[in-house]
Amino acid sequence: MAIEASKTGERTPKIRLGMVGGGAGAFIGAVHRMAARLDDQYALVAGALSSTPEKSAASGRELGLDPERCYGSYEEMAEKEAARPDGIEAVSIVTPNHVHFPAAKAFLKRGIHVICDKPLTSNLEDAKALKAVADKAKALFILTHNYTGYPMVRHARELVRSGELGDIRLVQMEYPQDWLAEPIEQTGQKQAAWRTDPKQSGAGGSTGDIGTHAYNLGSFISGLELDELAADVHTFVEGRRLDDNAHVMLRFKGGAKGLLWCSQVATGNENGLKVRIYGTKAGIEWTQADPNYLWFTRLGEPKQLITRGGAGANAAAARVTRIPSGHPEGYLEAFATIYTEAAAAINAAKAGTAVDSAVIYPTVDDGVKGVAFVEACIASSKQNGGWVKV
Amino acid sequence: MAIEASKTGERTPKIRLGMVGGGAGAFIGAVHRMAARLDDQYALVAGALSSTPEKSAASGRELGLDPERCYGSYEEMAEKEAARPDGIEAVSIVTPNHVHFPAAKAFLKRGIHVICDKPLTSNLEDAKALKAVADKAKALFILTHNYTGYPMVRHARELVRSGELGDIRLVQMEYPQDWLAEPIEQTGQKQAAWRTDPKQSGAGGSTGDIGTHAYNLGSFISGLELDELAADVHTFVEGRRLDDNAHVMLRFKGGAKGLLWCSQVATGNENGLKVRIYGTKAGIEWTQADPNYLWFTRLGEPKQLITRGGAGANAAAARVTRIPSGHPEGYLEAFATIYTEAAAAINAAKAGTAVDSAVIYPTVDDGVKGVAFVEACIASSKQNGGWVKV
Amino acid sequence: MAIEASKTGERTPKIRLGMVGGGAGAFIGAVHRMAARLDDQYALVAGALSSTPEKSAASGRELGLDPERCYGSYEEMAEKEAARPDGIEAVSIVTPNHVHFPAAKAFLKRGIHVICDKPLTSNLEDAKALKAVADKAKALFILTHNYTGYPMVRHARELVRSGELGDIRLVQMEYPQDWLAEPIEQTGQKQAAWRTDPKQSGAGGSTGDIGTHAYNLGSFISGLELDELAADVHTFVEGRRLDDNAHVMLRFKGGAKGLLWCSQVATGNENGLKVRIYGTKAGIEWTQADPNYLWFTRLGEPKQLITRGGAGANAAAARVTRIPSGHPEGYLEAFATIYTEAAAAINAAKAGTAVDSAVIYPTVDDGVKGVAFVEACIASSKQNGGWVKV
Amino acid sequence: MAIEASKTGERTPKIRLGMVGGGAGAFIGAVHRMAARLDDQYALVAGALSSTPEKSAASGRELGLDPERCYGSYEEMAEKEAARPDGIEAVSIVTPNHVHFPAAKAFLKRGIHVICDKPLTSNLEDAKALKAVADKAKALFILTHNYTGYPMVRHARELVRSGELGDIRLVQMEYPQDWLAEPIEQTGQKQAAWRTDPKQSGAGGSTGDIGTHAYNLGSFISGLELDELAADVHTFVEGRRLDDNAHVMLRFKGGAKGLLWCSQVATGNENGLKVRIYGTKAGIEWTQADPNYLWFTRLGEPKQLITRGGAGANAAAARVTRIPSGHPEGYLEAFATIYTEAAAAINAAKAGTAVDSAVIYPTVDDGVKGVAFVEACIASSKQNGGWVKV
């Protein structure tokens, strides 16, 4: 119950939010809107929901937006909203990858906070350029690596930080799916089409779409920095233009090692994101499909199943927990936590105060690392799996 | 992805909602608010959030309500809101049980739709009286038996209705918890205090609080009507005034049998609601803590694990599914589905049209059955477990 | 690794064993033989494997028995083996229930130890008579309630005995199967035929075949004595002569309560034996299909998963553990433990020494309780579920 | 119930068995003995149980062996047993790895069948030499890659062979343990000492001890031949002389890819052997700790949980299944299946008949592949993870 709009006695006004992308039929746009609504911190007031002005207007109408705030392009939205006294204070960017950079730049340079889907950009050059923009901007940049919002992920991260695991030896990450086991992009499936198109996605297919999630999550929990990797990136489905499977061996700074497997052709897997971390004192295992549980085992002791909201959950988990144990929270709640953490940071920025040190959200730096990871995977694979520094 | 505000091209205006109860510190009030927000069908505009006017005002302020629409009592709210041109169209009642009846009556008779927490009332007399009021009212009455909103529960119900299970033989329900294993009501724990107080809860403790949920869910999925029951209702914790455990044997009309166990002292259980139904052709098992899964086994065939959003999920499940398989939905999503189903019914009522036949929500009749179940448990137990017709 | 033949330096000679029943095609006979072999404590040397002499001889030949020690009846075997200097020292009785009593009597009175399948007898009168015989006999009587041999069951029992659970409040037992969901006894299925025949099984169908197992196991772990029960015993399959489902409410001496459900028509269940026990301090859950795990939760602490052979396993479990954790032991190993415990007791009897106090096996008293349980279920059900003392 | 000694009416005489290694305190020797006993196909009659004659004699005495058949060395045993008319027909070799080759050679060249623990030898040169010996010998060589004996493993293999999975794309294998997370070999733990000693184990630590198991199992089920691998082999525990963790990327002939992870320092893992195989039509997942289950998912269909002995189990599984579904079989049963398959082959050899084509056991060729796998891992790692052909 830790997260609700109201903690201080006075209601903080909702943050005025715009959205780029996310028109009718876009899965992730609807997710961002639900995430923004859940904790009641945002009011969606404007949108460039499609790159086709008519579609943008129609989608806006369906969402109840003021027609004059439904724009045909993000440039238009950035310019006009920045000029309004009641203009948007933040924008969600939920387009295919290649639009992230120009869109984010357009808003950041006008002082509008950006909440952007991952991966950061479609290539490392853009990523670094966006970082440069973000670093100079007066607005915040939040990357929605949404899995970091799960309470048990926060719990796990805190276990590592507090030394409960001892020295980390192994970080094993995997993210198998099966939805691209057949060439559905050739049948017009929209989600598949842009994700397998190098122009929209960049150099990585499964590596960019889900490998970055797994890598981000392993890094988030372990706190480790990747040193180098060796990858065997592959496309199993004939005619597909981007990878749909990758095997990656990892070496972290400080001596820990890792494996990362991402796949879109692992028949029988839905969103099998899993992170396992083993240290000298204890090990943890977390599976996204069953997110309210965390396995925690101290060396030489019985396995413990920590539950969200339960007896063993720590303060880092409790901060982002809405309802009691045994009543599961899911993906949308974790996603909402990213939005609510962003709101805390944005509200602090508005108030000119420091944000609470407990507030955590993925940043442009995490985004750069993610794109660097993808490019390193591709580079290593081109060298037949040679080690590549990141 | 089936549920979002927008399906028809034109945005349906949000339903103006009030709330009775649910002030600061009340678990279930915050849940109702998040549930009402998720699918963007409601705007909370008024509240009688506490029976203490100052607390009600403070809680309203925290929620950003207009101070003049924060009331000191539900009577006041009903009267004043009914008189406003922009008054509430629906109200959520999230108080302890004994307030449900008078509060619901106050709104129903003014044509304001009521969304009420369970159990319906604190006794059967009130329940029947409320039914009489609801049946005559021009407004709808929705009971938040929230577990019926889970997609896999809808899937299970449809399996039964379509005959996939054959003739139902067994309906096994259980709802173990452990949060009242010690007398925490004596230490001032607010949630425990009213739930163990006969004046506020009625005759049933665990039977009313969670037994009704299990019973409702078993009935919802199986479609069976209870004929009679034999119960061994017990209070394990010394000094407690209401039951904290019940064992109930059930006989349904048509010949099926069942067991129901509810407990608040089953150490190690959080919210272990589970329903298992076995027919001549197939059996199903569903557990609330892992709600995105449904076990389904045809006699003589391998067990199937049906997943929410997955390959085997039927249309009844898909209707109330927001996000793809493998990304778990949880308790709040199921609760939100009740609100969204209610919104569909309320909007149809406003439009004077018939509600879509696929829309399902628990009604005042379900509520009467729930209270009758509680009273039958108590009555049977007083007769040392003799069979009692319901 | 605790159990192997050899502990003391000198090999104890194998116990000469006979078998009554268990000819070709009998499931449980083969199980007993594997169980007797695993720890190398027995040599099967004689058999009355079938009530048809030719079949008995053929089955004996298949098992490599000396033809002259393959008998046409247990009476003949008892008489002739008792007269041999190298005659059997113990006998396994693995016939349908109604033969247990006369066969056991024939061996016991000749000083031959009896290892008998459950239930003890087909009626309570016989059970008491057998107890009288066993109590006076110079030979031991061991009942193969094999589930008591699982290491995690021993662990659980020791947890209760050592007070880790506090005062026991609830003992929940269930044993659902589905193999009799259709009337396969009418198609000549041999296992089904005798189990649904009152002459061979006694008054109980599912209650006798599996209800006794569940009841025995709940009693074994909890250490509680049943005071009274109320049962709703039923036959779902038309034409079946014995019950195939039972719902039973239990009251134990000292105030604990329980539920027991056994079913042979619960579609999708194989051998779903499960025992859950909740005390004031902690709770435990054990499932036979996954026997190497025990859930253990102290009130207010995280759940622990104790594993056979693992860090948290206690000495009572270790005594009956053969191989390290993570390499599962199963049903045959647990069954073998009953045989090996029996061997320890028989060897002590042979040596005239006291048996090690850690040795545990089910006795004739457990058998009498099991039959009394079945008859009480039937009696209660005939009184429409009235409470019956046991 | 498919496996019992007796199928044909006449009892096949037991195979006279000797054992090399496996004296007091050796885990795996006791396992082999239980495995040999379970299906009653072998009689242990001789042993060179320790390299210290006194210990060998003492261990033999504990096992009830004839003192004159307890030998001080395998050479002596091979020579003397070969000279006896009732000499052993087969021998189990359960020593540390480096003894496998000379011991096996001593028996094979005398026409005594060899049942040998894995890995085949401590280096590839020996492995190839042993293969040459075995290929020429009149006796059989069986390698106890025991996990291939699990019924659900057999089921999985048959699924692949019958084309149910389509073309295999991915073979993911892992075998994490944690028992060597600390340097227990330095404290005199005997099992740890020889496994971390290059002289006794060969070049591979975790790779040889458990990596070979995972590799063998993935190959056994998938039927694929490894083409090349790239490995990152590492020793985490300071002072340890052999690897305790390995990450391996695999490329199979025909285009499938794989990952293999083995670890002895993954805190919280007991024997976490897991194989997942994904094809164009379906995927399977099997976990050794829960061996009676196999997940099987056809693309676009619900997940199925196949159970040993259950409705969906195929004939390949049924052949090696002893007891009905729901009563778990475990590690010893799977191990016993290797022995029983070996007995079928040995008996056929004795009879001069062809062995039933359904009989499967790991051979010297599998052993050579396993050792080649270990050496390729080490070689690749020395080249900093370059691809090495096997």
Do C136 and C233 share a domain, yes or no? no
* Residue A79 distance to chain B (closest CA, Å): 26
Predicted pLDDT at D26: 76
> Which residues on chain C are in Cβ contact (under 8 Å) with B384?
387
Q: Does B340 touch chain A (CB under 8 A)?
A: no
In this structure, are residues D253 and D166 in contact, taking their beta carbons and an 8 Å threshold? Answer: no
Summary mean pLDDT of chain C: 95
DSSP state at residue B288: T
Find, in chain D, the residue whose alpha carbon is nearest to that of C325: D270
User: Could you give the CA distance from residue B26 to residue B59 in angstroms, rounded to a whole number?
Assistant: 11
Is D249 an interface residue toward A (CB < 8 Å)? Answer: yes
Distance, in Å, from the CA atom of C66 to the CA atom of B151, rounded to the nearest integer, reads 64
List CB contacts (< 8 A) between B281 and chain C: 267
Sign of the Cα pseudo-torsion (A21, A22, A23, A26, in order): positive
Q: Token digits for D237?
A: 């525990």
In chain D, where does DSSP find H-type helix? Answer: 27-38, 53-62, 74-83, 97-108, 124-136, 151-161, 190-195, 198-201, 206, 212-222, 315-318, 331-351, 364-382
Structure tokens at C209: 């075949």
Q: Which of A146, A179, A208 is the last residue of a domain?
A: A146
Nearest to D232 among A249, A263, A297 (CB): A249
Predicted confidence band of residue C29 (pLDDT cuts 50, 70, 90): very high
Interface-testing mutation among C247, C381, C383, with chain B (most B C-beta atoms within 10 A):
C247
Looking at the fold, whether C83 and C219 belong to one and the same domain comes out as: no
**Which is nearest to D209 in space by CA: D27, D25, D374?**
D374
D124 domain-assigned? yes
Residues of C in contact with D177 (CB under 8 A): 326
**Are D131 and D364 a contacting pair, CB within 8 Å?**
yes
Interface of B with A in 26-45 (CB under 8 A): 27, 30-31, 33-34, 37-40
pLDDT of residue D9: 62
Q: What is the mean pLDDT of residues A121-132?
A: 97
Contact B292, B308 (CB under 8 A): yes
In B206-280, the DSSP E strands lie at: 226-234, 245-252, 257-263, 274-279
Give the CA dihedral C374, C376, C378, C380, nearest 10 degrees. Answer: -150
Domain limit, last residue, from A146, A161, A190? A146
* Beta carbons within 10 angstroms of residue B319's beta carbon: 18
DSSP characters over D329-380: --HHHHHHHHHHHHHHHHHHHHHT-PPPTT-----HHHHHHHHHHHHHHHHH
Read off the pLDDT of each residue in A21-30 and give the average, rounded to a whole number: 88
Half-sphere exposure of C166 (CA within 13 A, CB side): 17
pLDDT tens digit sequence for C1-20: 355 544 456 788 999 999 99
Contact C371, C216 (CB under 8 A): no
Does A326 contact B177 at a Cβ distance shorter than 8 Å? yes
| Contact status, residue B234 vs residue B244, Cβ threshold 8 Å | yes
- Give the burial class of D227: count Cβ atoms within 10 A of its Cβ; 0-12 exposed, 13-18 middle, 19 or more buried: middle
pLDDT given for residue B160 in this prediction: 98
A305 contacts chain C (CB < 8 A): yes
Q: Considering only the beta carbons, identify the residue of A172, A181, A299 that sits closest to D261.
A: A172
> What pLDDT is attached to residue C1?
34
D123 assigned to some structural domain? yes
On whether the CB atoms of residues D371 and D124 are closer than 8 A, the answer is: yes
Same structural domain, C135 and C263: no
pLDDT digits (tens, 9 = 90+) for A232-251: 999 999 999 999 999 999 99
Across C144-162, average pLDDT? 98
Helix, strand or coil for residue B272? coil
Say if residue A161 is in the same domain as residue A70: no
Q: Does residue B9 carry a pLDDT above 70? A: no
Is residue B305 included in any domain, yes or no?
Answer: yes
Chain A residues within an 8 Å CB radius of B31: 323
Give CA–CA dist B220/D76, Å, rounded: 76
Asked if D302's CB is within 8 angstroms of B311's CB, the reply is yes
Q: What is the pLDDT of residue D342?
A: 98
Contact residues on chain D for B311, CB-CB shorter than 8 A: 300-302
Strands A226-234 and A113-116: unpaired
> Which amino acid, D65?
L
How far D45 CA sits from the closest chain C CA (Å)?
A: 13
Chain-chain contact of C302 with A303 (C-beta, under 8 angstroms) = no
Q: Of the candidates B118, B173, B113, which has an alpha carbon nearest to the alpha carbon of residue B145?
A: B118
Q: Nearest chain A Cα to D295, which residue? A: A268
CA B289, CA B274: separation in Å to the nearest integer?
Answer: 9
**Across the strands, what pairs with B284?**
B277, B296
CA-to-CA separations, A239 to A15, B19, B185, in angstroms, rounded: 45, 56, 66
Structural contact between residues B106 and B74, judged by C-beta atoms closer than 8 angstroms: yes
What domain count does chain D have? Answer: 2
What pLDDT score was predicted for residue D206?
A: 98
- Whether residue B306 contacts residue B294, with contact meaning beta carbons closer than 8 Å, is answered with yes
C9 to chain D, minimum CA–CA distance in Å?
Answer: 5
Of C300, C302, C311, the CB nearest to A305: C302
Residues of B in contact with D302 (CB under 8 A): 296, 304-307, 310-312
Instruction: Kindly state whether residues C79 and C176 are assigned to the same domain.
Output: no
Residue A36 and residue A81 share a domain: yes
Which pLDDT value is given to residue D241? Answer: 97
User: What are the residues whose beta carbons fall under 8 Å from the beta carbon of C290, sequence distance 6 or more?
Assistant: D290, D328
* Whether residue A120 has pLDDT greater than 70: yes
Beta bridge mates, C274: C174, C287
Q: What is the pLDDT of residues B380-390, one digit of tens each?
A: 999 999 999 99
Here the CATH number for the domain that contains residue B197 is 3.30.360.10
Name every chain C residue with its beta carbon within 8 A of the beta carbon of D31. 323
* Assigned domain for A10 exists: no
Domain-located, residue A92: yes
pLDDT band at D1 (very low <50, low <70, confident <90, very high): very low
User: How far is residue A216's CA from residue A212's CA, in Å, rounded to a whole number?
Assistant: 6
Same structural domain, D67 and D170: no
Cβ of C2 under 8 Å from any chain D Cβ? no
Percent of chain B at pLDDT > 70 equals: 98
Q: Do C38 and D329 touch (CB under 8 A)?
A: no
User: Does D216 have pLDDT greater than 70?
Assistant: yes
pLDDT at B65 over 80: yes
Contact partners for chain C, using 3 or more CB pairs closer than 8 A, are: A, B, D
Give the global pTM. Answer: 0.97
Range of the domain at D133: 15-146
What confidence score (pLDDT) does residue C5 get?
Answer: 41
Contact D331 C331 (CB under 8 A): no
Instruction: Using an 8 Å CB-CB cutoff, list chain A residues near B214.
Output: none
| Cβ distance of D296 and B307 shorter than 8 Å | no
Do the Cβ atoms of C268 and B182 come within 8 Å? no
Confirm or reject contact between A269 and chain B (CB < 8 A): yes
Inspect the interface and report whether the beta carbons of D278 and A266 lie closer than 8 Å.
Answer: yes
CATH assignment of the domain containing D67: 3.40.50.720
pLDDT band at residue A1 under the 50/70/90 scheme: very low
Q: Which residues contact A71 (CB under 8 A, 6 or more apart)?
A: A46, A47, A48, A53, A56, A77, A80
Alpha carbon separation from A369 to A157, A362, B131 (Å, rounded): 18, 11, 61
User: Would you say residue A179 lies in a domain?
Assistant: yes
Report yes or no on C2 lying in a domain: no
What is residue D5's predicted lDDT score, i.e. its pLDDT? Answer: 41
Question: Measured between CB atoms, which of B61, B64, B289 is closest to A326?
Answer: B289
| Bridge partner list, C176 | C263
Q: Please tell me whether residues A155 and A263 are part of one structural domain.
A: yes
Asked if A296 and A180 sit in the same domain, the reply is yes
Instruction: Judge whether D359 is closer than 8 Å to chain A, CB to CB.
Output: no
Is residue B372 within 8 Å of B128, Cβ to Cβ?
no
| H runs (alpha helix) in B210-330 | 212-222, 315-318
Neighbours of chain A (3+ CB pairs under 8 A): B, C, D
Calpha distance D168→A205 (Å, rounded): 21
Helix (H, G, I), strand (E, B) or coil at C269: coil
Closest chain B CA to residue C304: B268
Q: Is C330 helix (H, G, I), strand (E, B) or coil?
A: coil
Encode pLDDT of D131-189 as tens digits: 999 999 999 999 999 999 999 999 999 999 999 999 999 999 999 999 999 999 999 89
B301 close contact with D: CB closer than 8 A: yes
CB contact under 8 A, A267 and D282: yes
**How many Å apart are CA A347 and CA A13, to the nearest integer?**
9
In this complex, do B305 and D306 lie within 8 Å of one another by their Cβ atoms?
no
* C268 in Cβ contact with C157 (< 8 Å): no
For residue range B75-97, list pLDDT tens digits in order: 999 999 999 999 999 999 999 99
- Å between B371 CA and nearest CA of chain C: 23
Phi and psi torsions of C277, nearest 5°: -130, 130
Give residue B120's pLDDT. Answer: 96
Q: Answer yes or no: is pLDDT of D7 > 80.
A: no
* Same domain as C134, residue C183: no
Q: Tell me the CB-side half-sphere exposure of residue C115, using CA atoms within 13 A.
A: 33
Between CA C48 and CA C66 the distance in angstroms is 12
Chain-chain contact of A305 with C307 (C-beta, under 8 angstroms): no
Interval B173-194 mean pLDDT = 95
Q: β-strand A274-279 against C274-279: which pairing, if any?
A: unpaired
pLDDT at residue B5 above 60? Answer: no
User: What is d(CA A318, CA C169) in angstroms, rounded to the nearest whole number?
Assistant: 31
Domain boundary among the residues D146, D165, D187 is at D146
Question: Complex ipTM, two decimals?
Answer: 0.96
Which chain B residue lies closest to C260 (C-alpha atoms)? B259
Q: What is the pLDDT at residue A3? A: 56
- Which of A172, A266, A384 lies at the smallest CB-CB distance from D283? A266
Structure confidence by residue, pLDDT tens digits, D56-97? 999 999 999 999 999 999 999 999 999 999 999 999 999 999
Domain presence at residue A382: yes
Q: Are residues C165 and C112 in the same domain?
A: no
Residue B89's alpha-carbon distances to A290, B5, D230, in angstroms, are: 38, 18, 67
If DSSP codes are grouped into helix, strand and coil, which group holds residue A389?
strand
Q: Has residue B100 got a pLDDT over 70?
A: yes
Q: pLDDT tens-digit profile of A169-224?
A: 999 999 999 999 999 999 989 899 999 999 999 999 999 999 999 999 999 999 99
pLDDT-wise least confident of A343-347, B289-293, C58-62, D141-145? C58-62
Examine the pLDDT at B19 and tell me if it is beyond 80: yes
Q: Which residues neighbour A209 within 8 Å (Cβ) at sequence distance 6 or greater? A: A119, A195, A201, A264
Q: How many residues does chain C have?
A: 390
Q: Is C20:C103 a contact under the CB 8 Å cutoff? A: yes
In the stretch 143-202 of chain C, residues with CB closer than 8 A to chain D read 177
D277 in the same domain as D158: yes
Which chains neighbour B (Cβ–Cβ under 8 Å, 3 or more pairs)? A, C, D
